[in-house]
Copies of this chain bind each other. A is one copy, B any other.
Amino acid sequence: MAQVRNKQVVLRKYVDGFPKESDMNIVESTTTLKLPEGSSDVLLKNLYLSCDPYMRILMTNDNITGFGAYTLGSPLIGNGVAQVLESGDQDYKKGDLVWGTTKWEEYSLVPSSQIRSKIEHADIPLSYYTGILGMPGMTAYVGFFELGSPKKGENVFVSAASGAVGQLVGQFAKLTGCYVVGSAGSKEKVDLLKNKLGFDEAFNYKEEPDLNATLKRCFPEGIDIYFENVGGKTLDAVLLNMRVHGRIPVCGMVSQYNLTQPEGVTNLANLIFKRVRMEGFIVGDFYHLYPKYLEFVLPHITEGKVVYVEDIAEGLENGPAAMVGLFSGRNVGKQVLLVAHE
């Protein structure tokens, strides 16, 4: 059986502080495109890989999160869109397009249980299954609707608002009849939020010397739902501006993942005064809602009522830069890595 090249992005060393491209390596291994005899796994050709902030957490070797860590010298593991080359599980067959957990390489052999879903909607960009139709989409949906319990007319604030998750939270909030403000890290992103993504208001948090004052200006009556993506100073300012019975779905704290000593949040007593519910979640606990989510979101996509901004890097060799870029905000929209065309 012929061997083929299998380019990989592997973790070279555990990361301390901000990740650097040099923490990862591009490796050219080889592989045989043949399922081992009797295997129930699937052999995948990876097409699109998803660059996600949580992957930074798996680049640390302390497992404080309980999620484990990447193995040094092995390819990164993450979500992706792939084509089935061979399948030992009768639920999948050669040629199927799928999305789920795969590896940062050209070809992957994975247990079929790692496939999240077959892709049935040929009229929609495949890359969307790393974003709006994949993990980040479900994250926005679950965090906003299940934990946020939004009501029409409520005031919603979203941080990292132009990102993979944030841009959807904002649009879902508008669909619900909420007033929505987003924060992001550049003028370009702020323009995107206001002019393309339908946010009522947006600001560049890097240019606001007093986030409390900014939020007071944007929300004179306070915030009902804060969709938390960043943590740290933003959360602290938000706590001063929550409304009675407000909700804070805690999706992520990307500003803290690279700090050896996370920033201290000082205004938590406002949770009491304002009877606020702050609740962390992991999208993985909610995939039973995926069919319901598709039912909700597909028509909106088709009718152009929900749009999705992607930032597509090409080629595995650009993976490390794409990954690292998440933490300087280089990505505009969902960061995808194109590995191969179908």
Contact = CB atoms under 8 A, between A and B. Distances in A.
A40 to B, nearest CB: 29
Contacts of A250: 268, 271-272
Contacts of A301: none
Contacts of A272: 250-253, 280-282
> In the assembly, how many copies of this chain are there?
2
* Contact count band on A: 35 or more
A240 B276 CA distance: 21
Contacts of A66: 244, 273-274
A273 B67 contact: yes
A263 interface: yes
A257 B272 CA distance: 12
B268 A253 contact: yes
Contacts of A289: none
Interface SS majority for chain A: loop
A231 interface: yes
A25 interface: no
Interface string A270-287: 111111111111100100
A90 interface: no
B268 A231 contact: yes
A276 B57 CA distance: 18
A213 to B, nearest CB: 14
Interface string A255-266: 011000111111
A175 interface: no
A302 interface: no
A254 to B, nearest CB: 10
B279 A276 contact: yes
Contact of A265 (B251, B264, B277, B280): B264
A267 B274 contact: no
A274 B280 contact: yes
A184 to B, nearest CB: 21
A340 to B, nearest CB: 33
A217 to B, nearest CB: 18
Contacts of A264: 263-266
A219 to B, nearest CB: 15
Contacts of A65: 270, 273
A85 interface: no
A235 interface: yes
A234 B292 CA distance: 41
A279 B277 contact: yes
Contacts of A256: 269
A25 B262 CA distance: 44
Ranked 4 nearest A-B pairs via Cβ: A264-B264, A271-B280, A272-B280, A65-B273
